[in-house]
Structures are given as structure tokens and as C-alpha cells.
């Protein structure tokens, strides 16, 4: 038998006869299995589609870090389904809906990922959503807050989210402006795209339900606009006593600079788009005037999960010395929690089949102590958003640091 194995190693599988004879000999003679080379279990591929370049690249990197930390933890414990390790495959959508669709389609059809994570820009996520449902592939949003991403009318719905939701954030923003700054007539400054439209509807609905405030006016602007003084002037003339801002970093910085040039010191309460890039650098000295929503902060007393993740971030990324060095923390926190929830669903489903994982996500039985909270049945057939208003916190920039306002 030893000679037969030596012959096989010398000549390889060129002879089917020799291969069959060897296998037969192993079975009949009871050669221990350890003498036969073992093949590693096939990895479970998960995809990431987000802006990994351009103005939102920092957000994409924050998401990447959260995904990587969760994958490291799961793989260090032996992986899933009897030893299958998670493998991350990334694609850059450059904040472009067409490029996002191409990237998602490639991950689904070519890479055979079990789930796609990502979606920084609402327009990109809204473009991917119908594709995910058509292809019956899990799409887990970890940043974009557009209400219609998860509430898309599809049955069954393969799109889930661990992130903020515009309809709920808008309630928070108006309530915060009223309670923190005494605002009674907020003025809306909204980016002119589907994300702005989502929030316009949400803010109007929130205003209708909130007797303490009355929207003074609504102004729109384009992503490349550099002078917002005309829009801000119209809001000022209508008596706006605060600005509700919905925008990403570059145009958001232009809003703050235009406000500064006007000498208008009205409070600014913003959605979290301004946390995804170099806002303090671009906005200048008034960047800290904008209070904005987040789903997580590494400041203050941390849970055991928070302590563990902060330590892992410091070990994996040497530039991180403390919470102040963690940029776009919501991207990291949302992605970290989302990977663990999908991993639990795969485990409970006992399979990577998308339909089985979808059903498992809608009825997760195992609680998970995440960064943002302890998740107990976070999804259902009717609700694919794991987070609600009670999971939001308000923060501001202090220099380059994101710090709580309360």
C-alpha cells in the first residue's frame, strides 16, 4: 500500500486507473483518513458594493472595517456551517447608480455571493433594490436611509437594513430641533435627488404629527452647487429659526459656508450624510455648528461588544488610538452588526440558499449582543429595518472628532 501511495504522488492523477485502484485500496485496507490530502471547505462569499473612491470613500472604508472585523471574529471561531470561512468581495460603485447595478449583478451572477452589503448613497441602493428582489439575492443596507429601500412593496422582499430610516430620522430631527434649540419654524435644505425626496415626504409627515413645529419653507440644491445663499435667504425671509439639512459632505459643507458668509447663526440639525467625508475640513470653522444623527458612538461607557470592537479596531488599524480616531463610526457599527445577523441567519437556516436565509432573517431566534443594541428578532415579514428612533443618537464635530451632543 505504501508503494501505491508513493506511485500516486510521483505520477499524479494522470492515470484514472491508478486513481481508482488507490481509492479502492484505501477503502479495503482501512488506511487512516489523515494520510489522504484534505481540501478546505468552500468559503462563503459575501459582497460589498459602496463608494470606495471619491467624496464618500471614507464612508466606504468605514463600512469595510466593520465588515472585516465581524468576518475576522466569525472566522476565528471556525466559520459557519461546519468550518466554511467568510470571504469578502468588494466593488466600487463610485456613488453612481448604473455602476452600482453592474457591480451588484456581477457579485450575484459571477461571484455567487450569499449576500450583498453596502449602499452609501440612497439613489444607488434604490437602483440595486429591484435587482436584488428579481434575482432573489439578499441585499443588506448598512448606510443609505431612503425609506423606499426596504419598504419597496416586493413580496417576498430580499432587502434588509441595519441603518437609519428616513421616515424615522425625520421625526428625530424635527423633535431635536424643537427640544434642543426651541425651534418652532424649521426651514428645510434638501439635496435634489431621491434621498432628498424621501426626506421631504418624511419631514412633511413628521411636521404634520408634531404640533410644536411648522415648516417655514423647503429649498432644494444640486450636488455641485457652491453658493446656497439664495436658498438660505429665502428661508430666512420666511422666518426659519433652524435649518434641517439633508445632504452628503461636499454640498453640505457649501451650505455651512454660505450660512457663514451671510452671518446667519441659525442652528443646523442634519441627517448623517455629513459624517461620511472630510466635512470639518471642507466646511471650515462652523462645521461644529451642525448637529447630526448617528446610530452609534464609541464615546462614553461602552458595552462589552463596544469594548471588544474598539480593541479590535486599535489592533487592526494602528492609526486608531481612541474613539476620536474612528471616522464615520456608523458605517463601522452598522456593518459589524449586520454581518453577525446574516451569519446567524445562515446558521439557523443551515444553508446559504438566499430564500432560506431570507426566511431565517425574518424569524431570527438567537439574540445577538451587537454594538448598537442587543437584537431580539430584529426583522419580521413586515419589517426589514432592524433599527428604530430609540437607536439614534445626536452628535457634532469637535475639530475632526465626532462627539455626542447630550
Say how far apart CA 345 and CA 349 lie, in whole Å: 6
Element (H, E) at 100: helix 97-109
Cβ partners under 8 Å of residue 379, min gap 6: 160, 361, 362, 363, 364, 385, 386
Show the domains of the chain with their CATH numbers: 2-35 (no CATH), 44-164+300-391 (3.40.50.2300), 167-294 (3.40.50.2300)
Say how far apart CA 181 and CA 242 lie, in whole Å: 8
Q: Which set of grid coordinates corresponds to residue 325?
A: 480616531
> What is the biggest distance separating any 2 CA atoms in the chain, rounded to whole angstroms?
94
Best CA proximity match to 157, nearest among 300, 359, 297, 18: 359
Best CA proximity match to 337, nearest among 117, 101, 29, 148: 117
Banded pLDDT at 41 (limits 50, 70, 90): confident
Average pLDDT over residues 77-86: 97
Note whether 94 and 54 are within 8 A (CB): yes
CA 183 to chain centre: 31
Say how far apart CA 195 and CA 257 lie, in whole Å: 22
Helical spans, DSSP H, in 182-299: 194-209, 229-237, 249-262, 279-283
Q: What is the pLDDT of residue 328?
A: 86
How much is the pTM?
0.81
pLDDT in tens, 107-138: 999 999 999 998 889 999 999 999 999 999 99
Banded pLDDT at 331 (limits 50, 70, 90): very high
Note whether 387 and 167 are within 8 A (CB): no
Asked if the model's pLDDT at residue 38 lies above 50, the reply is: no
Query: What is the C-alpha end-to-end distance of the chain, expressed in Å?
Result: 74
Amino acid at each position: 500500500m505504501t508503494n501505491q501511495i508513493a506511485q500516486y504522488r510521483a505520477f499524479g492523477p494522470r492515470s484514472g486507473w491508478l486513481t481508482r485502484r488507490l481509492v479502492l485500496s484505501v477503502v479495503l485496507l482501512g488506511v487512516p483518513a489523515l494520510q489522504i490530502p484534505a481540501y478546505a471547505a468552500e468559503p462563503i462569499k459575501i459582497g460589498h458594493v459602496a463608494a470606495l473612491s471619491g467624496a464618500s470613500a471614507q464612508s466606504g472604508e468605514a463600512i469595510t472595517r466593520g465588515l472585516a472585523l465581524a468576518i475576522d471574529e466569525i472566522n476565528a471561531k471556525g466559520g459557519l456551517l461546519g468550518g466554511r470561512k467568510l470571504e469578502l468581495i468588494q466593488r466600487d460603485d463610485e456613488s453612481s447608480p448604473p455602476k452600482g447595478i453592474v457591480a451588484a449583478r456581477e457579485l450575484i451572477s459571477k461571484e455567487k455571493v450569499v449576500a450583498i452589503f453596502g449602499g452609501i448613497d440612497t439613489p444607488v441602493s434604490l437602483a440595486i433594490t429591484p435587482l436584488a428582489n428579481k434575482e432573489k439575492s439578499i441585499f443588506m443596507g448598512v448606510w443609505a436611509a431612503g425609506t423606499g429601500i426596504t419598504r419597496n412593496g416586493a413580496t417576498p422582499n430580499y432587502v434588509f437594513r441595519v441603518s437609519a430610516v428616513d421616515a424615522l430620522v425625520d421625526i428625530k430631527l424635527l423633535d431635536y430641533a424643537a427640544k434642543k434649540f426651541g425651534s418652532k419654524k424649521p426651514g428645510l435644505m434638501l439635496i435634489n435627488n431621491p434621498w432628498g425626496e424621501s426626506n421631504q415626504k418624511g419631514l412633511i409627515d413628521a411636521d404634520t404629527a408634531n404640533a410644536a413645529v411648522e415648516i417655514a419653507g423647503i429649498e432644494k440644491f444640486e450636488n455641485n452647487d457652491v453658493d446656497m445663499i439664495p436658498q438660505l435667504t429665502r428661508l430666512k425671509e420666511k422666518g426659519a429659526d433652524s435649518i434641517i439639512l439633508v445632504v452628503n459632505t461636499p454640498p453640505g459643507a457649501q451650505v455651512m459656508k454660505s450660512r457663514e458668509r451671510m452671518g446667519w447663526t441659525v442652528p443646523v440639525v442634519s441627517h448623517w450624510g455629513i459624517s461620511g467625508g472630510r466635512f470639518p475640513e471642507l466646511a471650515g470653522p462652523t462645521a461644529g455648528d451642525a448637529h447630526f444623527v448617528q446610530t452609534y458612538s464609541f464615546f462614553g461607557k461602552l458595552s462589552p461588544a463596544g469594548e471588544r470592537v474598539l480593541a479590535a479596531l486599535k489592533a487592526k488599524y494602528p492609526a486608531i488610538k481612541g474613539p476620536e480616531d474612528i471616522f464615520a463610526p456608523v458605517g463601522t457599527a452598522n456593518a459589524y452588526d449586520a454581518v453577525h445577523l446574516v451569519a446567524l441567519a445562515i446558521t439557523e437556516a443551515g444553508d446559504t440558499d438566499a430564500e432560506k436565509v431570507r426566511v431565517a432573517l425574518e424569524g431570527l431566534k438567537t439574540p445577538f449582543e451587537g454594538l448598537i443594541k442587543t437584537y431580539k428578532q430584529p426583522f419580521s415579514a413586515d419589517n426589514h429595518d432592524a433599527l428604530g428612533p430609540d437607536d439614534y443618537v445626536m452628535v457634532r464635530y469637535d475639530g475632526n472628532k465626532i462627539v455626542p451632543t447630550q
